[in-house]
Amino acid sequence: MIKISKLDNPVQEYAWGSETAIQDLLGEPAAKGKPMAELWMGAHVKAPSRVMIDGEWKTLNKVINTSPEAVLGERVAEKFSGRLPFLFKILAIARPLSIQVHPDFGQAREGFARENMRGIPLDAPNRNYRDENHKPEILCALTPFQGLIGFRSTEEILDLMNEISSPGLSEMLGHLKKCPDSNGLKRFFTSLMTINKTRRRLIVSKAADIAEKRSGKEPVFHWIAELNRAYSGDMGIFSPAILNLVELEPGEALYIPAGELHAYLDGVGIELMANSDNVLRGGLTPKHMDIPELLRIVNFKSMAVSKIKPEEQGDLEEIYPAPSKEFVLSVISLKKGTPFTSTRNRSVEILICMEGKADIRDLESGDILPLNRGESVIVPAVVSRYRIEGKARLYKASVPNGCVVH
């Protein structure tokens, strides 16, 4: 592949997805009972995008394998062993999705090898590690977006949990009060997540009843009640009292490193991550959960949440700063009559048009591709420079300059 090409992207139809958001973006009719949860743009082996090559659709991972330096650029091909280092997604969340955590490099490699030794197929529902990569990610809100990320301070946890507590929780909360550090938090959370089924039903039922009565006064209790309606009896309903509840306005973002416990509750967002599908789940899901493995991976430190706002990079592009070596997320806001021109020092990029329409031109060959709302393109590294003209808003995934080998 030696030119800018449109992508045909797979959609994941998970139960928590929206029946309208991605459909509307793609210009497709809403489908009752057929939610679209994630649109994937990338080369992950589970669901790679496709590219039209000489009149034939070919998967992007195979195209890259054939010409890694032309597609990725020499630097990126060398640093990331001939693989696209990021995975770009649109998330459309109509129902809260799982409490989850992602591993770091060492944990991913060890877990992947361990499950291979056990003979667990890569596509098995009880598989935790589907690749050897870590999965830091950045999530940028496209609509008002709500989620949970990282542990609250122990003081906040104690205050909120005491309001919905029953005798079955008192002892655990007492231990946390006596030991309000990361060790005490780990002990408390482990006890909560491993409680026996009989006690769990009583504790969850009592907490849900109290939260329902207070749901109009406090967002935390609103979400506890909502989660109980969606996942009745699940210990994950306590997560809004334990994790930071975050509300993002469109254009605001969050960076989630390895080990940070999180869950997304509602909204549409664009997500960019290292090229991985490794997820450890701990609740609020019908999918496979591995509580012992999740507890081994989680970072048990209270944290304050820092929202990320974009920083100007020239007149038309804004970049979301994040400490990743695999990806950079940016947004290009095109004005009619004012084109965007790429830099010369670039490698592989994927762009998706979220609003309006534009033309993207290879400045060397002169080739032009129209780009409408919902359409995406890959710009291989071999294309030295390109220009985009029109009135549109595009999100771009690229690789940082100066990336290093891990």
Residue 11: helix, strand or coil by DSSP? strand
Q: Answer for the pair 342, 313: CB distance below 8 angstroms, yes or no.
A: no
Q: How many other C-beta atoms are found inside a 10 Å radius of the C-beta of residue 311? A: 11
Residue in this structure with the two tokens 């509307």, named with its chain if needed: 24
Question: What pLDDT, on a 0 to 100 scale, did the predictor assign at position 403?
Answer: 44
Q: Answer for the pair 301, 261: CB distance below 8 angstroms, yes or no.
A: no
Q: Answer for the pair 281, 97: CB distance below 8 angstroms, yes or no.
A: no
Question: What pLDDT, on a 0 to 100 scale, did the predictor assign at position 1?
Answer: 61
| Radius of gyration of the CA atoms of the chain, in A | 22
Closest CA to 89 of 149, 30, 49, 130: 49
Q: How many other C-beta atoms are found inside a 10 Å radius of the C-beta of residue 385? A: 14
Question: What pLDDT, on a 0 to 100 scale, did the predictor assign at position 222?
Answer: 95
pTM: 0.93
Question: What pLDDT, on a 0 to 100 scale, did the predictor assign at position 81?
Answer: 93
Q: Answer for the pair 104, 36: CB distance below 8 angstroms, yes or no.
A: no
Residue 261: helix, strand or coil by DSSP? coil
Question: What pLDDT, on a 0 to 100 scale, did the predictor assign at position 345?
Answer: 84
346 a catalytic residue: no
Ordered per-residue pLDDT tens for the chain, 406 residues? 679 999 999 999 998 999 999 999 999 988 778 899 999 999 998 899 999 888 889 999 999 999 999 999 999 999 999 999 999 999 999 999 899 999 999 999 999 999 999 999 998 999 999 999 999 999 999 999 999 999 999 999 999 999 998 887 888 999 999 999 999 999 999 999 999 888 888 899 999 999 999 988 889 999 999 999 999 989 999 999 999 999 999 999 999 999 999 999 999 999 999 999 899 999 999 889 999 999 999 999 999 999 999 999 888 999 999 999 999 999 999 988 899 999 988 999 999 999 999 999 999 999 999 999 999 999 999 999 999 999 999 999 999 985 433 3
Q: Is the dihedral of CA 390, 391, 395, 398 positive or negative?
A: positive
Q: Which domains does the chain have, with CATH numbers?
A: 5-148+248-297 (2.60.120.10), 155-236 (no CATH), 313-398 (2.60.120.10)
Element (H or E) spanning 75, and its range?
helix 74-79
Q: Which of 200, 281, 344, 346 is catalytic?
A: 281
